[in-house]
Amino acid sequence: MGVTRLLRHDRRAAPTTDDRPGSPYVAIVSRSLARALFDDENPIGRTLQLPNDRLHRVFTIVGVVRDTHYADVHRPPAPVAWFTFQADGDLYMPTLHVRGRTADTASLIAAVRGEFDQLDRGFPVFNIKTLAARVNDALGRERMIANISAGFGLLALLLAAVGIYGVLAYSVVRRRREIAIRVALGSTAGSIIALVAHEGLSLAGIGIMAGIAIALPGSRVLAHYLPGISSVDLSIILCCVGVMLVMAAAALCVPTLRACRVDPLTALRLE
């Protein structure tokens, strides 16, 4: 299941983890549960009992794993203990986790059902899903919000590009006389392009800096509500900056071409 093991019992002295009747009762605990029960002492080999256990079973701790989300990915990891299935146990609707060696989900589910049918045909086995499917189901709301946010983000990106294009196109019209004089005095097409591009990229730069200033505290807020989201992801920030610069450069193309095609005589005559 991908849970990192921190401590384990010496295999040469470890009790068997067989789940048949008469086998020793063993358990694996999370790090937070081990600290809550035994502070900083080594929990391996220590015992614990479950409250309200009619059989008064005593479980020997044979391993410690790191804290992990077990039932709900939205809540902080809680202290957890895992036990082997015992035939004399009093279990109600237990959940069985099976680790397979094949990527074929359908065949794995069929194999699990087949094993239960061999033991007890008609035994009620339901809600068989892969771990990835369960995580996807748990994050359904977050995925919907992410898709909606991505749609609004693309719309905002398009509006930003249109806005940059409109501002630069208007600026070229307003500065047509200035551009004509520059061309008449010997300015090259490269210098005209640099003039228009500097103005456009300056606007984009101001917008990018404002966006980063809002995104940094916003990402810290989202990290508290969305599991798996880091507070600051430098790669995503750099990717967004790159996309904005590309969109700004695309929006610069038409105004820049218009500025380069300004005829000095015509522009000065109109002025």
**Three-class SS of residue 232?**
coil
**pTM score of the predicted model:** 0.54
Checking if the pLDDT of 25 tops 60, the result is: yes
Looking at the fold, whether 111 and 171 belong to one and the same domain comes out as no
What is the structure's pLDDT at 224? 67
The total number of structural domains in the chain stands at 3
Looking at the fold, whether 247 and 156 belong to one and the same domain comes out as yes
pLDDT in tens, 107-145: 888 888 888 888 778 777 777 777 777 777 777 777 888
Percent of the chain surpassing pLDDT 90: 0
CB proximity list for 32: less than 8 A, separation 6 or greater: 67, 77, 78, 79
Categorize the per-residue pLDDT at 197 as very low, low, confident or very high, splitting at 50, 70 and 90.
Answer: confident
CB proximity list for 179: less than 8 A, separation 6 or greater: 172, 192, 195, 259, 262, 267
Looking at the fold, whether 117 and 162 belong to one and the same domain comes out as no
Looking at the fold, whether 39 and 130 belong to one and the same domain comes out as no
Q: Nearest Cα to 86, choosing from 129, 33, 22, 150?
A: 22
CB proximity list for 265: less than 8 A, separation 6 or greater: none
Looking at the fold, whether 130 and 90 belong to one and the same domain comes out as no
Looking at the fold, whether 161 and 238 belong to one and the same domain comes out as yes
Looking at the fold, whether 122 and 233 belong to one and the same domain comes out as no
Mean pLDDT of 189-202: 82
| Domain of 106, in residue numbers | 98-138
Checking if the pLDDT of 43 tops 80, the result is: yes
Instruction: Report which residue type is found at 147.
Output: N
User: Cβ atoms within 10 A of the Cβ of 90, count?
Assistant: 11
Looking at the fold, whether 154 and 124 belong to one and the same domain comes out as no
Looking at the fold, whether 148 and 228 belong to one and the same domain comes out as yes
Last-in-domain residue among 64, 94, 124? 94
CB burial of residue 4 (10 Å; 0-12, 13-18, 19+)? exposed
Looking at the fold, whether 162 and 251 belong to one and the same domain comes out as yes
Question: Lowest-pLDDT range, 79-88, 118-127, 143-152?
Answer: 79-88
Last-in-domain residue among 138, 168, 201? 138
How many CA atoms within 13 Å lie on the side-chain side of 174? 7
Looking at the fold, whether 67 and 8 belong to one and the same domain comes out as yes
Checking if the pLDDT of 226 tops 80, the result is: no
Mean pLDDT of 206-227: 78
Residue 30: which H helix or E strand, with range?
A: strand 26-30
**Three-class SS of residue 68?**
coil
- Which residue carries 């339901």 as its tokens? 126
Q: Nearest Cα to 30, choosing from 20, 47, 43?
A: 43
Residue 20 has φ and ψ, to the nearest 5°, of -80, 160
CA–CA separation, 231 vs 217, rounded Å? Answer: 8
Looking at the fold, whether 25 and 57 belong to one and the same domain comes out as yes
